[in-house]
Amino acid sequence: MTAAIIGVGMTRFGRDLEHQLPELAFKAIDEALRDAGVSKEDIGFIAFGNVGGWSGEFFPLPIVCEYAGLNPRGGMRVEAACASGSAALAAACMAVESGYADIALAVGAERMNELASTPAIVELLGRGGNFFWEFEMLGLTFPAYYALFARAYMDEYGATEEDLAKIAVKNHYYGSMNPKAQFQKKITIEDVLNSRYVAWPLKLYDCSPITDGAAAAVVASERIASRLTDTPIWVKSQGIATAPANLTMRRDLLSIESVVEAARQAYRKARIEDPVRSLDLALVHDCFTIAEIIAYEDLGFARRGGGYLLAREEQTYIGGLIPVNTDGGLKAKGHPIAASGLAMIYEAVKQLRQEVDRGRQAPIKHGQALIHNVGGTGHFAYVTILSLEKP
């Protein structure tokens, strides 16, 4: 049995000091239900992605269900670091594919600016690596982890800080046209290069922001999806993999092995041999600009060492080899940890339906989109293929 997405919703991402976590989640849920044309009474299962630690609700799922009027339906909180949104989608798909529910709801929400300061949030995220050996002993934070990746990549292949800056400029360009993005202003190469260093060679504009927000998707079983909407978006495949938390256990810093494995699974299940010739667009996890470049190679868009050339030659804009992050990416759209994966799903669904504003709408020729969502430094990897065609 195959699952289909029949509705999506998303808040505007940014620094939100007005709405509590249940309110943010409700706003995304309400939009998704309206988009699907179903009511909360139709929902048979809820998968709620949330990392928390920076907000007041220690057990957020019951509070969200109560606020959204979803009791007494069953559900679970799902956590896979920054990939929690994709994990929630996977759990919702499993619920309908197994026959447990006809319609399930996947939600991701974070209120990162509620309790913690920026240094405290950076520390909490740093604890998500290998706590003892890398955080406690070496003092690594996530900007520092990805700075190591960037330095290794630049040394090996000759990429420059200007190549990294190209990613930021592209994603802010598309973010400027996205009404739900945290940053809606174009930037230049000079803006990026003149921004302060956070962890050399990564600068402020190489890093995704601290964000509040929520996103949701309504998932229906194969049996009823086509009855509920004329445009079901089928979850054609999803690859899931993990990698060692300790970087010393990785083969190298030039690739995220969990992404390679998750992509292999997703392509095999979707019968994709050449992703560039089979996909209309990709939404990739650009928590840092180097992460997007490495993703190009791990996903098979470019040969090893060739990812930065896609950026340099602007081949991941609409009209290029393959459009990437037409919503602004995590870099400009924002990165409310557990909501990010479902926000990518939101964009992919809207793109496949051709409901995106002109200027951001990718040409839809193959009817397929890819979502790449990474947790931690590759601790978790989810690669999802969405399709207009039923598998």
Q: Of 41-50, 61-70, 120-129, 239-248, which range is least confident? A: 120-129
pLDDT of residue 162: 98
What's the pLDDT at 130? Answer: 67
DSSP 363: P
Looking at residue 324, the DSSP 8-state letter turns out to be B
Q: Which residues are catalytic?
A: 82, 335
d(CA 347, CA 354): 10
Mean pLDDT on 238-252:
88
Mean pLDDT across the stretch 43-64?
Answer: 92
How much is the pLDDT for 1? 73
DSSP string, 184-245: -----HHHHHHSPEEETTEEGGGBPPP-EEEEEEEEEEHHHHHHH-S--EEEEEEEEEE--S
pLDDT of 247 over the 90 cut: no
Q: Quick one: pLDDT at residue 32?
A: 98
- Between 251 and 229, the more confident residue is 229
pLDDT tens sequence across 259-300: 999 999 999 999 999 999 999 999 999 999 999 999 999 999
Contact 165, 289 (CB under 8 A): yes
Residue with more model confidence, 205 or 251: 205
User: 373 pLDDT exceeds 70?
Assistant: yes
Pairing of strands 368-375, 74-78: unpaired
Q: Over pLDDT 90: what percentage of the chain?
A: 84
The residue-averaged pLDDT of 353-357 equals: 96
Options 2.115.10.20, 3.40.50.1980, 1.10.1060.10, 3.40.47.10; CATH for 3-116+211-228 is: 3.40.47.10
Q: Residue 368 — φ and ψ, nearest 5°?
A: -140, 140
For residue range 99-142, what is the model confidence (pLDDT) as tens digits? 999 999 999 999 999 877 787 777 777 666 765 566 555 557 88
Ramachandran category for residue 229: left, alpha or beta (phi over 0 → left; psi -120 to 50 → alpha):
beta
Radius of gyration of the chain measured on its C-alpha atoms: 19
Q: Which residues contact 62 (CB under 8 A, 6 or more apart)?
A: none
Q: What distance in Å separates the CA atoms of residue 128 and residue 103, rounded to the nearest whole number?
A: 33
Start-to-end C-alpha separation, the chain: 10
Q: Are strands 74-78 and 3-10 parallel, antiparallel or unpaired?
A: unpaired
On the question of pLDDT at 184 being above 60, the answer is yes
pLDDT in tens, 71-101: 998 899 999 999 999 999 999 999 999 999 9
Strands across the sheet containing 45-49: 74-78, 45-49, 103-111, 212-221, 3-10, 233-242, 380-387, 368-375, 281-283
Distance in angstroms (rounded) separating the CA atoms of residues 43 and 55:
26
Q: What is the pLDDT of residue 158?
A: 98
303 CB-contact burial (10 Å; exposed 0-12 / middle 13-18 / buried 19+)? exposed
Q: Angle at Cα 52 formed by Cα 49 and Cα 53, nearest 5°?
A: 165
Q: What is the pLDDT of residues 206-217, one digit of tens each?
A: 999 999 999 999
Question: Whole-model pTM?
Answer: 0.96
Q: At what angle do helices 60-68 and 21-36 cross, to 10 degrees?
A: 50
- For residue 156, how many other CB atoms are within 10 A of its CB? 13
